[in-house]
Amino acid sequence: MSGRRGLHPRWLRPRWLRASLALAALALVGLVASGSPRAAAQQASSEDELATRVPVRLTAGASDELMGALATGPDGPRALYFVSDARGTKDLYVQKPVQSAAKQLFDALGDVAAPRLSPDGRSIAYIGYTRDATGDACVRALADLETERCLTGPDTAELEVVWLDGGARLGVLSRTGMQAGFVLRSFPAAGGTPTVLAKRDAIGLARSPDGRWLAFVTVTPRQDQVGVAFASRVGKGVHVARLSEVSNAAADLVYTPPLPGVSGFPAFSPDGRYLYFSQYLNDTNGDGVIDGSDHSVIERVRFDPSRRDPFGPEPPEQLTSARWDCHYPSASGETLLMTCSRRGSLDLYTLPLDGAVPDAWDAPRLRGELEVARDLSTRLLLANRLLAKLDAPAARLPVLRQIVWMHLSLGEFEAAIYYAHSIERETAGPSSTQAASAQAAPGADARWAGLMVELAEHRRADRGLARGELSSAYIRQERARLDRIRAAEGELPTATRSVRPTTRDASPLGECRPTDIPGLAKLVQSEILDDLGDKAGALAALRAVSLEQLSDRYTLRLAGERAAHLYGLLADRPAWLAALRTLALHPALGEAEHIAQAHAFTVTLLAGLARGRARGAAIERARATAPDGSALALLLDVEAALNDLRPDGSNEDAVRARIFDLYKADHDPEHRRALALTTINDAARRGNEYLEYQFTTTWASGVRHADPERKYAESLYRTVVLERAYGELSDGHLKEAAAYFFQATRNTDALDPHIGFIETRLAEGQSIAALRAFYAERFKDAPAAPEHRFVEAYLTARGLAGVAGDDAHASAVAEVERLLREVSKAMPRRLEVRHLWGYTLQQAALRTGSRAQAASALRHYELALDLARDRPRARAAILEALGELQASLGEHRAAVASFVRRARLPFPRPASELALRLSLARSLFHTRAPCRGREEAAGALAFLDARPALGGYRASALDRLAFAHLTCGEPAEAARRYAELERALTGAAGTPINRFKAALALGSASLAAGEPAKAAEALRRARALLDAHPDLEARAPEHALVGRFPYPHARYAVLVDGLLASALVGTGDRDGAGRALARRLDGLETIFKRSDADEDLLDIARTHLRLAALARAAGRPTEAVAQLEAGLARADAYDERTGSTVTPTRLELIRAYAEARLFGDLPAKTYHRDLAADLSSALDFVARFRNPDWREDRLRFALYLTLARLHAGTGVAGAASAPQAQR
């Protein structure tokens, strides 16, 4: 990611000019928009490759979701079943419908894996680990998920299941011992004795739709002494066996794909005509082995057992790009379901059955897309599909060479080597293309391929070195390679050096000429010598290559790489530039290559040079020797113009004119593309929106609709025009903003411009009805167009908060969902659709209190967030909503994370920023960070106070801040804020419950702050409110998603009385305190009669303790003893009900009782409890559980027990005061 762009003040132009520019652009739009309809763009994120389809994600969240099984019906997918580790263990989940939130299918006390739906869709089989840590094959009926039937026992370890016989039987792959091989058994689905189908070391079982065939891959043990389950390697290819003959390995049909790497996870297409499988092409994790830990692509091959070659003659088709790393294919209905690994998370994705590249694309279409694709992995996918359509060697060879080069560039050495060997095989002997050329010599392509193999093997070995440090084995091996290459070089005929290529001979995918081979050999030697540390030798080898004599584009590219590496290391920029200049002007290369090299030249020339004179001089010097009309001259001219652009943009019009003159003068489409993109990228880096916009529209208007480049132009257009629109909006120029948004809606099929247009028009005062009419007119010829449906959904959804009546609201929600389902079928990867869907369901959940709707909203938001990685405006909106949703579900930790991420982005709406600050403060409290919450709440109040328009929310902010102070242990501050809150609770906010809570909290805070008089005053006010409102209780919001319980009047009453008693003790009013406590006691007893809750018993016991203390202080020891005994009786009841031995309350009661008994003057008959027994049980407990808080009690109780026993023996009552425990 590039660094921050320089800040560029918005260019100031008169509004009329801005408006007319917008209108002029609209006119341009009219020209552009006529003609053939736009191809529907797939783009959700601007990082997506546009050339091919992109997998659609079905599962949301950061956890891993894998091993999916799709249930489909006549209308498409109905339900998705999969394994997820969202809760820490691997459980089975379902999304039904597929676009809803995931629900755990059933609760098993162990992991679950490898689910398989029965053919009739009524049952699900899986491997369960609840009863057997080595796994059991189990089945549940979907209509009765509580009942699990496990067909196997603890004597076998189950690995996989597969339905057989139309679902009447279940095939189970097991291991019968630690070192034993695998066995496939068939069980009756209803349970019973199995039959052994085969003893085969096979995995990845898949049954054909007609039930006759079983596909799998074989495994073999790595070592004889260790069982195949523990150390194995996958066998080559995919096996397909008739079920009736699966035990006979010799009868297998074996498909070894003509691909590098290993295969796995076979699956049949729904019609049985194709076999899908994962192919691990390269050792992408660098562990030296190609296996299931490496990146995978999904392939498919035809399967027709009636043919002599059931898998041929067509080659396999690659369906996914290696960048997506997809595994575990399964095909159902019209959908290919896969598990793909993206950004550290596994999730389930779908594509159509023909994968990322439509079947219908012919070779010309594939070539066209291949040329414009921006990503090498996508180009590889396209090249492989193209290769599958080509038969003639002359056509295949250039594609194969391109494939070799791309794999080499990506560091996919195994694949590069594989395809290089393919070239050797296909060109064995004189090729037909070489025979056709008088300049050809036999074996040039094969030699080229051989050198590429050497290069790939060398690079693989080099990458294998730990941190680049040479080893003696490596040195030996590479020196041997050098010797081989030199020896082969010596065998080349001298006549190969006599021919110089001309421009006439160049072709974009030109074949390798014999004159290239010596040069290529030298370049490979240069790289090897370089990596062996012989820089002098490497340089000499590079300098020995005459670039002018080369014609192969890949050899020339390799020369460029060598020059970049060596001259870059030497910091020898002149030599580096000289090499790049030669390449940029080389007659053997096409214009696309010239542009690539010219681009590299300018980047290298200008690296580290600040804009200004020095940079201009460097450009001028280079331009002096660049031939007019060349790509190099063009790019240098563009750089010269851009270099003159002033930082404040005051001369941008002149710069624009200069570059536009260059554009007009050069009609080559590749040149124009290079000019436009160079200008746009530079302008974007410098924050010059004017130039960005001008050249985006210029370029986009020049790209024909049928051109594969068109979708890239549209994507850029959308991005740039929207930036302009948002800029106008932020300046308050609504009309201009609306024009730009509208422009974007006309020229792209993006959805966010529609949102911008709608919101801008509404801000201008237009009504929803008028907008509906406008869109109805616009789409009158295509009312079912997805853009129109989306707009209808948006217009309805944005009004949901204002819909009166729950029925009307529910209807509106249902309608929006119906429309969005329709849109998502045509546009499955649009973040606007997910966002709006999440918003709608969140509004629904707010209205109904439905957790199911909230959970579905969460899923849509998470999917939207995944698509919004480089769309910060959308991300801002989604994160805030997501945080609110998570908080409302009680997921406060996740909410804090969402809020914190959101807070890094700007807030255009102060109310939303205030809402976030308060919500964050709340969630921080819930995540046990109350002091951080206090900081946020204080920030929120300060934010609000600085914005008078938000004054209506002051009570909310005060309430949050006061509460935060209280929970952060700052009672004095809390008291101050609660006092302020009490004063602020007027009007609608001044309800009895609110005034009561404020008074109660003020009392509590004042008490904690050591201000009993203030506390008593507040608590009396609270008490008065309670008395005046006998129905006063705290209620959850009407449709709260969590914690829907009231806090009743009676509870508040006892709370207030308890606090009041403490306050009155503090003011010296013991009688008042006693009355309050007596009221509290009565209240608690009444509550307990209704609640029968154990905790209430302890509260009662505690109240007796406090009453005893009051009685003692008032000189009423008999009453004190009675209270203590009553308290102990309640504590006994609590212990009996809960199985406790001791509680802190009980310890206090015993202590007080013992002191009364041992050191008081009352006669023995006053006491009715066995003190020694009480002391003994308490002492046992505190002695056994060495809580440091009970240290004093341990000493004290031991002493008191001794005294108690002594007194029991002598019958003497206690005397004097209770001794302090010795420290």
Partner 1 sequence: MHRGALALVALLAAATGGGCVSVSGLSVMSRSTALERQANAELPQQTGELGQAALSPGPEAIPREQLATSGEAPGLGVASKLVAEAETDADRVDALLVGGCVGESSDGTLQTTPSRCALDVDPDAVAQLVGRENVHRRQVWRYLEARAPKTDPGRVREQWRSAHLQQVVCGGLVEGPEGKWAPKSCASPDEAAQAEAVE
**Residues in 639-678 that interact with partner 1 by CB under 8 A:** 646-648, 673-674, 677-678
Selected binder of partner 1 within 117, 444, 966, 1098 (CB under 8 A): 966
Report, in Å, the least distance between residue 374 CB and partner 1. Answer: 4
Footprint of partner 1 on 216-245 (CB under 8 A): 219, 229-232, 234
Token pair 């496939």 in the structure block, residue: 184
Report, in Å, the least distance between residue 464 CB and partner 1. Answer: 10
The CA-atom distances, in angstroms, between 8 and each of 645, 690, 865 are 12, 11, 29
Selected binder of partner 1 within 13, 212, 425, 904 (CB under 8 A): 904
Token pair 């908080």 in the structure block, residue: 887
947 binds partner 1 (CB under 8 A): no
Peptide bond preceding 364 in cis form (omega within 30 of 0): no
Selected binder of partner 1 within 119, 181, 270, 568 (CB under 8 A): 568
Q: What is the Cα–Cα distance from 1075 to 147, expressed in whole angstroms?
A: 59
Report, in Å, the least distance between residue 825 CB and partner 1. Answer: 21
Compute how many other C-beta atoms are within 10 angstroms of the C-beta atom of residue 1103.
26
Residue closer to partner 1, measured from CB, 1034 or 1078: 1034
478 binds partner 1 (CB under 8 A): no
Selected binder of partner 1 within 804, 988, 1215, 1216 (CB under 8 A): 988
DSSP string, 301-369: EE--TTSSSTT-SSPPEE-S-GGG-EEEEEEETTEEEEEEEETTEEEEEEEETTTTS-TT--HHHHHHH
Site track 429-468 with partner 1 (rule: CB under 8 A), x = hit: ------------------------------------xxxx
Q: Which residues contact 77 (CB under 8 A, 6 or more apart)?
A: 70, 71, 98, 332, 333, 335
The first and second tokens of residue 664, run together, are: 């007009």
Spell out a b/e string for 1084-1094, using b for 16 or more CB atoms within 10 Å of the CB, else e. Answer: beebbeeeeee
1035 binds partner 1 (CB under 8 A): yes
192 binds partner 1 (CB under 8 A): no
Selected binder of partner 1 within 771, 1009, 1034, 1050 (CB under 8 A): 1034
376 binds partner 1 (CB under 8 A): yes
Selected binder of partner 1 within 21, 22, 25, 50 (CB under 8 A): 50
Cα end-to-end distance, the chain, whole Å: 65
Footprint of partner 1 on 337-356 (CB under 8 A): 339, 341, 344-346
DSSP string, 34-86: SSSPPPPP--SSTTS-SSS--PEE---SSS-EEEEEEEEETTEEEEEEEEE-T
Report, in Å, the least distance between residue 533 CB and partner 1. Answer: 4
843 binds partner 1 (CB under 8 A): yes
Which span (306-314, 452-460, 718-726, 1109-1117) binds partner 1, by CB under 8 A? Answer: 718-726
Selected binder of partner 1 within 30, 166, 258, 952 (CB under 8 A): 952
Q: Which residues contact 136 (CB under 8 A, 6 or more apart)?
A: 127, 128, 129, 130, 150, 151, 152, 153, 154, 158
Q: What are phi and psi of 1009, to 5 degrees?
A: -85, 5
473 binds partner 1 (CB under 8 A): no
Residue closer to partner 1, measured from CB, 620 or 1180: 620
Reduced 3-state DSSP string for 1203-1223: HHHHHHHHCCCCCCCCCCCCC
Residue closer to partner 1, measured from CB, 230 or 493: 230
Site track 301-330 with partner 1 (rule: CB under 8 A), x = hit: --------------------------xx--
Which of left, alpha, beta for 471 (phi over 0: left; psi -120 to 50: alpha)?
beta
Spell out a b/e string for 879-912, using b for 16 or more CB atoms within 10 Å of the CB, else e. Answer: bbbbbbbbbbbebbebbbbbbebbbeeebeeeee
Q: What are phi and psi of 339, to 5 degrees?
A: -105, 120
9 binds partner 1 (CB under 8 A): yes
Report, in Å, the least distance between residue 685 CB and partner 1. Answer: 10
DSSP state of 212: S
6 binds partner 1 (CB under 8 A): yes
177 binds partner 1 (CB under 8 A): no
Residue closer to partner 1, measured from CB, 430 or 533: 533
Selected binder of partner 1 within 102, 812, 914, 938 (CB under 8 A): 914
959 binds partner 1 (CB under 8 A): yes
Token pair 């941190």 in the structure block, residue: 467
Selected binder of partner 1 within 493, 783, 872, 1068 (CB under 8 A): 872
Selected binder of partner 1 within 25, 29, 42, 48 (CB under 8 A): 48
667 SS3 class = coil
Report, in Å, the least distance between residue 438 CB and partner 1. Answer: 34
Length of the chain, in residues = 1223
Footprint of partner 1 on 247-286 (CB under 8 A): 264-265
Footprint of partner 1 on 1170-1199 (CB under 8 A): none
Site track 764-803 with partner 1 (rule: CB under 8 A), x = hit: ------------------------------x--xx--x--
Site track 109-148 with partner 1 (rule: CB under 8 A), x = hit: xxx-xx------------x-x---xxx-------------
- On the CB side of 658, how many CA atoms lie within 13 Å of its CA? 18
Angle, vertex CA 544, rays to CA 540 and CA 548, nearest 5: 145
Residue closer to partner 1, measured from CB, 1033 or 1119: 1033
Which span (47-55, 413-421, 472-480, 1074-1082) binds partner 1, by CB under 8 A? Answer: 47-55
Residue closer to partner 1, measured from CB, 658 or 875: 875
Selected binder of partner 1 within 188, 211, 442, 890 (CB under 8 A): 890
Q: Which residues contact 416 (CB under 8 A, 6 or more apart)?
A: 404, 405, 407, 408, 452, 453, 456
Report, in Å, the least distance between residue 297 CB and partner 1. Answer: 14
Strands 345-352 and 335-342: antiparallel
470 binds partner 1 (CB under 8 A): yes
Site track 671-710 with partner 1 (rule: CB under 8 A), x = hit: --xx--xx-xx--x--x-x---------------------
Q: What is the Cα–Cα distance from 567 to 981, expressed in whole angstroms?
A: 72
Contacts 24+ apart (CB under 8 A), 623-626: 625/581, 626/581, 626/585
608 binds partner 1 (CB under 8 A): yes
Which span (486-494, 806-814, 949-957, 1108-1116) binds partner 1, by CB under 8 A? Answer: 949-957
Selected binder of partner 1 within 157, 197, 403, 640 (CB under 8 A): 157
Selected binder of partner 1 within 31, 436, 487, 571 (CB under 8 A): 571
Footprint of partner 1 on 509-548 (CB under 8 A): 530, 533, 535-536
The first and second tokens of residue 1018, run together, are: 């507040």
Q: What is the Cα–Cα distance from 867 to 880, expressed in whole angstroms?
A: 16
842 binds partner 1 (CB under 8 A): yes
Q: What are phi and psi of 169, to 5 degrees?
A: -135, 160
583 binds partner 1 (CB under 8 A): no
Selected binder of partner 1 within 953, 1129, 1140, 1221 (CB under 8 A): 953
Footprint of partner 1 on 1057-1086 (CB under 8 A): none
Total residues binding partner 1 (CB under 8 A):
200
The first and second tokens of residue 1186, run together, are: 């060495």
The first and second tokens of residue 838, run together, are: 């999440």
The first and second tokens of residue 1165, run together, are: 């008959």
293 binds partner 1 (CB under 8 A): yes
795 SS3 class = helix
